[in-house]
Amino acid sequence: MQTDLRGRDLIGDLDFSKEEVETVLDVAFKLKRDRALGIPHPLLRDKVLAMLFFFTSTRTRSSFEAGMAQLGGHAAFVDHTTTQISHGDTAKEIGQIFGRYYDGIAIRQCDWGVGNRYIRQVAQASRVPVLNMQCDVYHPFQILADLMTIIEKKGDPRGLTINVSWAYASSYQKPISVPQSLILQMTRFGMHVRLTHPPEYRLMPEILDQAQENARRAGGSFEILDDFDAGFRDADIVYPKSWGALLTTDDPEESARIGQKYTDWIADRRRMALAKPDAIYMHCLPADRNIEVADEVIDGPQSVVYDEAENRLHVQKAVMALTMR
């Protein structure tokens, strides 16, 4: 167990070693048990987390805010539109100044080509840990919660087959950070990882290379498919979700036109039947219901989406308790 995480940032999934992720999960399971038993755990009494949002959120904001309160501290919600960032406050200034007020800085900045760079610039100037609440490249806390959920439902992840698949959605061009973080982290845990998508929805080449290398080291596998049904076949875990064609076009209208070719990429009962009978259905949410996934699947017996959302709370508390002490 790697126990010295004090002061560390978590921006990309690989910022923590596999052993450090195992420590996070160990602490998360303990905190989840303590909460179920009503055992107080004020590990961050008098500490304050800044939560700087450039993008909307339901789960992330609420789980970080509730988590800080449960740890005995406080979380300050900072909507970028109410700051002076648009009037000139730079990433360096945010890092320097927030680093003097707060004990941790959490940021969601998903703008394509901007978000990850911004968070790293803040971290460079900050004297306190910087936590990535989702950027254009990574969504590390979502994937820690996903890994915790897989372990709860399936036990040892080694050897399990997970299908990380694109699915159609009409609401907006969703970031590519969730599939990228999934293929990075799950390959480190010896899983057989399938990435399934139409050709226009490819991910960043350096992320694909890293996933391939992780799989080689961990004894799992990583493959890319372009057939939606084939991705489901005999999988233990299916994770079909939409993302934007960001590496193909930066024009939202063209991206929407491309998506129109694949409106039949919906996770429905027939597709679920292609997976193993005890397969679980996962989604980070929000989902476009009856477009991206049928109600009968997301509300069905194989869906674990609410446990998955709950686990955001426990893994985030674990990381905050380990890094912000």
Applying CB under 6 A, which residues contact ligand CP?
57-60, 134, 142, 284-285
Closest C-alpha to 12, from 244, 246, 223, 207:
207
Q: Which is nearer to ligand CP, 226 or 310 (CB)?
A: 310
Q: Which is nearer to ligand CP, 60 or 311 (CB)?
A: 60
Say if residues 285 and 309 touch (Cβ distance below 8 Å): yes
Say if residues 154 and 280 touch (Cβ distance below 8 Å): yes
Structure tokens at 125: 């100037």
Q: Which is nearer to ligand CP, 142 or 311 (CB)?
A: 142
| CB 285, min distance to ligand CP, A | 5
| CB 109, min distance to ligand CP, A | 13
Q: Which is nearer to ligand CP, 197 or 241 (CB)?
A: 241
| CB 61, min distance to ligand CP, A | 6
Q: Which is nearer to ligand CP, 266 or 313 (CB)?
A: 313
Length of the chain: 325
Which residue number places its CB atom closest to ligand CP? 60
* Cα-to-chain-centroid distance, residue 285: 10
| CB 261, min distance to ligand CP, A | 26
| CB 19, min distance to ligand CP, A | 26
Q: What are phi and psi of 105, to 5 degrees?
A: -125, 115
CA-based torsion, 245, 248, 253, 258: positive or negative: negative
Measure the CA–CA gap between 232 and 162, rounded to whole angstroms. 9
